[in-house]
Structures are given as C-alpha cells and as structure tokens.
C-alpha cells in the first residue's frame, strides 16, 4: 500500500479484524436499538396493567409475547424499558466518570509538584474506602432516584481513570512538543486540554470500555438491593430482584432480564478486550 495510515486508523483496522469483538459490537447495537425503539412498537407501556392477563405465561399468539408480571404489566416491554435505563446510565456514567478522571489526572500529572501530591493523596484516601459502602451512602445522601444513583456511581468510579491518565500525563509533560508549547506562550490550561488530553486518548479508550460494564453492574447491583431505581420504573436490577421472588414458580421473570443483562456484559467485555488488543502499545 502506497499511502501510509495514521496510527488511529491502524488501530481501528486492527479492532475491525477482531471477529469476536465485532460480533459483540453488532449484538450490543442490536440490543440497544431494541431497548430504545422497541417499546414504541407496542400499544402499551411498561407501567400499564392489563387486568385480563395477570401473570400470563409466554405466548407468542397473545399481545404479551413473554407474558406479564403479577400486576399484568408486559414483561418484554418492561425489560426493554429497563434496558433503556441501564444502558443510558452505563454509557453516560462511564462518559462522565471518564471525563472527570481524565481532566483530574491530566491536571495533576501536568502540574506535578505539590499540587500533584495533594491531588493524588486525595485519590488514595478515596481508594481506601470500601466501594459499595461509598456508593450506598452517596445514593442515600443525594436522596435516592435516578440522578442520585448516577451521581453516586460517577463519584466512585472516576478514580481509576484519574490514576491511569495522571501517569501518562506525567511522562507527556516532559516531552519536547509540550515544552515548545510552553515556550510559545500557551497557558497551562490550554496545554492540558489541547496537548495532554488528546495524547492520552488510546489509554482512555481502552479503560473507558471497561468502565461501561462496571457502571451497568453498579446500577443493577444497587437496584437489586432496593437502593437504586425503584418500582414502578423498571431497571434490569429491580426486574431481577422481582424475578428472584417468584423464581420457584416462574423462572421467566428472572431469566429474561438476567439473560439480557448478562448478554450486554458479555458483549461489553469482549469489546473491551478487542479494544485493548488493538490500542494497547504494550501488547504488540
């Protein structure tokens, strides 16, 4: 080939060659489309009770394909709506936590010296906190509800990206092009934003991909325990919780949300693995 490719192109090409990761990506997109668009295809929503069909079993001939729960609410629609909540929180949460972590780490790594020591000290102390306990306390502090849950998860998950980016930023800060930018009169802030952050991109992409399943897992974990998203709003966590209550008579209520959650986590893990193989310079 005559034309040379940029590193980023090469990395994308390497990712595209990973069959497992591409299949996972396709499946994930499919599930996401189903969750976001699927509910519109039904004449009822997940909170509508159908009193003619209470605890209906799986029946593809009836209007409720996967049956209903004990309130007569359509299970499939509830699971899809729950997926919408779980996936949104997962991706937005990973994006926000990643963003905060990147900025914090880049500033600490670039600034160095006492500011760096102080900032990383704070991170270390937070690291010492038991993660679950912090999430539970924070979501109570913010008063429950979706936003509180989101804030609590973001607040506990920005630490690792901060540490990773800080190490990268530290070595970048000593490079010639950063020194040139400084000599040219760029302000520290714009150096961080224009030079440090973009150069951390590949590390961030690899780690960010691992952050998404972590956020989804945290959300469903808290909703399962009854601290996160609460009835009547559906989320995979609280649907699984409802499913466990009825599991000795009717496994369907557990298997559908649990299976979908597991499928999404499988896909995200394979995608993260694929990204790491494609982007991580240490692995080549």
Binding region for another protein (CB under 8 A) out of 75-83, 110-118, 164-172, 218-226? 218-226
**Separation between Cα atoms, residue 197 and residue 139, nearest integer Å:** 30
Does the protein bind another protein through residue 230 (CB under 8 A)? no
Q: Which of 221, 230, 231, 280 binds another protein (CB under 8 A)?
A: 221
Residue 30 CB-half CA count within 13 A: 9
**Separation between Cα atoms, residue 220 and residue 222, nearest integer Å:** 5
Residue 235 CB-half CA count within 13 A: 27
Q: Which residue has the tokens 């804030």?
A: 151
Does the protein bind another protein through residue 254 (CB under 8 A)? yes
Cβ proximity to another protein: between 237 and 274 the closer is 237
Q: Which of 217, 230, 231, 280 binds another protein (CB under 8 A)?
A: 217
Q: Which of 89, 173, 212, 261 binds another protein (CB under 8 A)?
A: 261
- Across 87-101, b (16+ Cβ under 10 Å) vs e yields bbbbbebbebbbbbb
| Interface mask toward another protein for 231-250; x: CB under 8 A | ------x--xx-xx--xx--
Cβ proximity to another protein: between 200 and 222 the closer is 222
Does the protein bind another protein through residue 115 (CB under 8 A)? no
Please enumerate in sequence order all residues whose Cβ is within 8 A of that of 15, keeping only pairs 6 or more positions apart, or say none. Answer: 21, 274, 275, 277, 278, 279
Does the protein bind another protein through residue 162 (CB under 8 A)? no
In the numeric block, which tokens belong to residue 15?
Answer: 């990712």
Q: Which positions lie near another protein, rule CB under 8 A?
A: 124-125, 128-133, 136-138, 140-141, 143, 213, 217, 220-221, 224-227, 237, 240-241, 243-244, 247-248, 251, 254, 258, 261-262, 265-266, 269
């Amino acid at each position: 080939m005559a034309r040379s490719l940029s590193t980023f192109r090469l990395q994308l090409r390497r990712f595209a060659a990973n069959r497992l990761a591409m299949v996972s990506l396709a499946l994930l997109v499919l599930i996401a489309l189903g969750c976001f668009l699927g509910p519109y295809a039904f004449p009822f929503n997940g909170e509508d009770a159908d009193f003619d069909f209470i605890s209906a079993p799986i029946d593809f001939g009836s209007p409720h394909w996967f049956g209903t729960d004990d309130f007569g609410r359509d299970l499939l629609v509830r699971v899809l709506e729950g997926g919408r909540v779980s996936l949104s929180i997962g991706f937005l949460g990973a994006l926000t936590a990643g963003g905060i972590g990147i900025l914090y780490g880049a500033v600490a790594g670039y600034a160095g010296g006492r500011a760096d020591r102080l900032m990383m000290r704070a991170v270390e102390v937070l690291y010492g906190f038991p993660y679950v306990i912090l999430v539970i306390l924070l979501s109570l502090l913010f008063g429950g509800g979706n936003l509180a849950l989101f804030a609590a998860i973001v607040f506990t998950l920005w630490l690792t990206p901060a540490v990773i980016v800080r190490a990268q930023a530290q070595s970048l800060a000593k490079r010639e092009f950063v020194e040139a930018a400084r000599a040219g009169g760029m302000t520290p802030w714009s150096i961080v934003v224009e030079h440090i952050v973009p150069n951390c991109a590949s590390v961030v992409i690899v780690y960010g991909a691992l952050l998404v399943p972590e956020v989804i897992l945290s959300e469903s974990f808290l909703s399962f325990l009854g601290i996160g998203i609460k009835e009547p709003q559906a989320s995979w966590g609280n649907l699984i919780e409802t499913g466990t209550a009825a599991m000795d008579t009717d496994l369907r209520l557990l298997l559908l949300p649990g299976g979908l959650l597991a499928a999404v986590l499988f896909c995200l893990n394979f995608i993260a693995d694929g990204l790491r193989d494609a982007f991580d310079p240490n692995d080549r």
